[in-house]
Structure 1
Amino acid sequence: VVDYAPLGTTITKWTATAKGLTLPSAYGTGNLEQTIPLFPGEAEVNYEVTVKTSNGLTRSPYAGKPLVNTVTVTSSTADLTTVGDNKTTQALPAEIRNDLSIAKTSDKLTPTGIDTPYDYTILVKNNGFFTSNEVVVKDILPAELAYISHVTAAGSANYSKENNTVLWSIPTLQPGAVAIIIIKVKAIKPGVISNTATILAKELDPIMDNNTATDLKEIFALDTRPNVITPNGDGKNDTWVVDGLELYPENTLAIYNRWGNEVYHSTGYKNDWSGNGLKEGTYYYLLKVKDPKGVWMVTKGYITLLRNN
């Protein structure tokens, strides 16, 4: 009994189950070449052969084509009938499988505020052994984001205002190849924005865990809480801090007492007012900042200064 591996493959193992006879071996690796010394009448043997495609098959003339496997059985004893003596050939349909992955990132080091443009970088890669065809990347922008532009050197991308979605199409992606798209957006609301992109292709991808990528981006806004300061040197609320003010370097701050007299003024406030020289009580602030559009915004409220905490 002879069974050689199809071209471009190797036989990793074979097993045999016999009925009515004893085999020299019931298992093996590599090509099947077994001689059975005595094969009684009515006896039978079933072989199960496992083959594996090699990594190089993607670049060979056999890539994407059916695997043809031929089994031959011969005997030194004369055969009284020719029924079933022909070589048995079975063609197995080929199913190309690939592994695509996607990664999505944004700048986490630079504080970003409302209406400030920033980029998402999406990188896709073909980790498989075959060319991926009709690759599609979909990025549905959440409601907190406004689309500005995109740029890519691979394939083409389009933005749909109707569903706030960027659809990136890549005709082919070769094994090991990567492609990048950069999407520029701006936030219209503060908070942590979750943005997810997905990738699919024509070929089957058995590893779906890396076909989705999510980026979390924090968008800052001015926050004057808490509005109580206790400048006693314990490191807690010793100065009046405005969270997010670093996003607005052009700013002015004026603080007034309850009679409307200005007791403090700063251009380019550095979160360092401690009420030095002032008595306990309630003070009122007027904070002006220039946003990325060049528009001055005004925030006002009160600050409670306590000395005995």
Structure 2
Amino acid sequence: APTTALEDGVTYYAGMVDNVTGCLSSSLLGVTAHFRTNNPATINGGLVTTCVLTSVTYTTEPNMDNYVWSVSNGGQITAGGGVNDDFVTVNWQQPGANSVGVEYSNSLACNLVSSETLSLVVEICVEGVSSDPCLTVYNEFTPNEDGSNDVFTIKCAEFYPNNKLAIYNRYGNLVFQTRGYKNDWKGISNVSNTFDGNVLATGTYYYTFETGETENVTKSGWLFIMR
């Protein structure tokens, strides 16, 4: 009937009626009713703080149209984020204030556009706390061969002969790794790829240091190379 109230998710059928016989055609057209309201967009899946070099997946309302995802300079999209994607995965590579945003249109709500932006802080997270006050990381060094502060120094590293050191650039790429670190790294990559043997440029990098003992302690944070 013309005044029948449609229900969301219900399939309705229509057919041709013969004006002479009043008979309904054997072929019917089925139409399923879907109602969409233009509710505000939301972004789910992430916290307001996260750790540097961490990947986080964010989601928004599904089944919308023309998704446009945006990420601040501190993050890199590694999955999703396309015009048909209701999700995006971001690897956060730079500490500080960052954001992820989404915009989409709703074709069943007169193509109204909804948008949302999530602000967050990316932090350098330190895992593990050493009971040895001697174990100290000196975050900045100047490998210019002047005999002063030329190497990346971790005080008392020599007391942990099974230690493991890994260095990453701001894109999350491993650029240096070693076991039994002896405070002798001068900012040169040793990874078997395009970085191997490269003198690393001035800038911020990130390290993880594992003591490798029975009660393993992992320290992580940033370091700065100044040339």
TM-score above 0.5, yes or no? no
Q: TM-score, normalised by structure 1?
A: 0.32
Larger radius of gyration: 1
Q: TM-score, normalised by structure 2?
A: 0.42
